[in-house]
Amino acid sequence: MALLFIAPDLEIPPYVDQLQALDPELDIRIWPEIGDADDIELALTWNHPLGELRNFKNLKCIASFGAGVDHILRDPNLPQGVQVTRVVQSSMPQFMSEFVILSALNYCRQFDIYKNDKVKKRWKPRIPLLARDICISIMGMGQLGADAATKLVQLGFTVSGWSRTPKTIPGVLSFAGDDALADFLSQANILICLLPLTSATKGILNRNTFEKLPPGAYLINVARGEHLVEKDFLDALECGHLSGACLDVFNIEPLPEDHPFWDHPNIMITPHISSLTDPKAVMPQILDNYHRIISGKPLLHVVDIERGY
Ligand code: NAP
Ligand code: GLV
């Protein structure tokens, strides 16, 4: 029995080192050096080459390197009947909440404007936006959205969350389902996207959505680039309906050099780092599922393939 890393874009060694430290006996293979394909029972994946997983006829688990599984489920040749798991671990919401708090405070305290003032040697105090006057609306109230919502409430923001099913989170106004979306959006001074990418959420950050936001709203997209309809977004920025955005994820990653987002003064860009998978925190969870395969126990953090998350 062996565990295969199949993640061509990732820097694998820290993850392998961590797994080996936890279990020196583990048979670890790194794609494309797979050895005997029939040995592979768990594949740890991030943007695997589509169709490749069909080659492992004894596969029991396709594990995502991250919280999202869209990169797995987009494979039209995914082996049938193999469970797909994802990362659910406290380091993920910790990183993500820090990132969205930083972005929200950056917006309220207008740091981007002061950065520009520094370049121009301009001394110009501005009255900041008070947290209590700002409504932060979070799309997606799962492991990441719920944690961010709770922490933003503690900072004094008015916080609402949108999900498929209603939630009870102290201090957070819950909106559920498509019928509640317009009301949810109508209050959002800062809109944060923390949805999984599914057929229902692809392109959800579009013209219709932006039109329902109050004028001057700010967007933080930390979910997936394909949630955002780029042309609609640029139009909304151009006409001033959106005041700016912090984007961590993009349709094409790395973001191409000639992409208009790079030069836009009101767009903050980070390279898909809002919540990275920490090897030390996350590899024990992968190993646990590997041992569960051996002992025939149910796997943890299995996703619903039909639902898409
Ligand atoms: P999760 O625990 O599965 O939560 C997903 C949330 O979205 C749930 O609250 C779910 O509602 C809601 N949702 C799903 N489909 C919906 C729909 N059609 N309408 C309304 N709400 C819907 O996911 P998570 O672990 O929080 O992660 C969310 C996403 O963040 C991941 O899928 C990934 O794409 C992204 N992510 C990005 C980074 C990064 O570094 N940029 C890092 C980690 C994750 P219910 O609760 O009612 O089911
Ligand atoms: C990162 O994008 C993840 O899905 O964990």
Q: What is the pLDDT of residue 15?
A: 97
Do 2-89+277-295 and 92-269 come out as alike in CATH topology? yes
pTM of the model: 0.98
Q: What is the pLDDT of residue 105?
A: 98
User: Among residues 82, 86, 114, 115, which one has the least CA distance to residue 282?
Assistant: 86
CATH no. of 92-269: 3.40.50.720
pLDDT of residue 158: 98
264 is catalytic: no
pLDDT at residue 129 in the model = 96
In tens, the pLDDT along 74-92 reads 999 999 999 999 999 999 9
Q: Which fold has domain 2-89+277-295?
A: Rossmann fold (3.40.50)
74 is catalytic: no
Share of the chain above pLDDT 70, in %: 100
Q: Which ligand is closest to the CA of 99, given by its number?
A: 1
- Running DSSP on this structure, what letter comes out for residue 243? E
Give me the pLDDT at residue 266, please. 95
| pLDDT at 155 (0 to 100) | 98
Strands 83-85 and 135-139: unpaired
- CA torsion sign for 160, 156, 146, 246 is positive
Ligand 1 centroid, distance to 244 Cα (angstroms): 23
Which atom of ligand 1 is the closest one to the Cα of 196? 32
Three-state DSSP state, 63: strand
Domain parsing of the chain, residue ranges:
2-89+277-295, 92-269
Q: Mean pLDDT for each 10-residue chunk of the chain (309 residues)?
A: 96 96 97 98 98 98 98 97 97 98 97 95 97 98 98 98 98 98 98 99 98 98 99 98 98 98 97 97 97 98 98
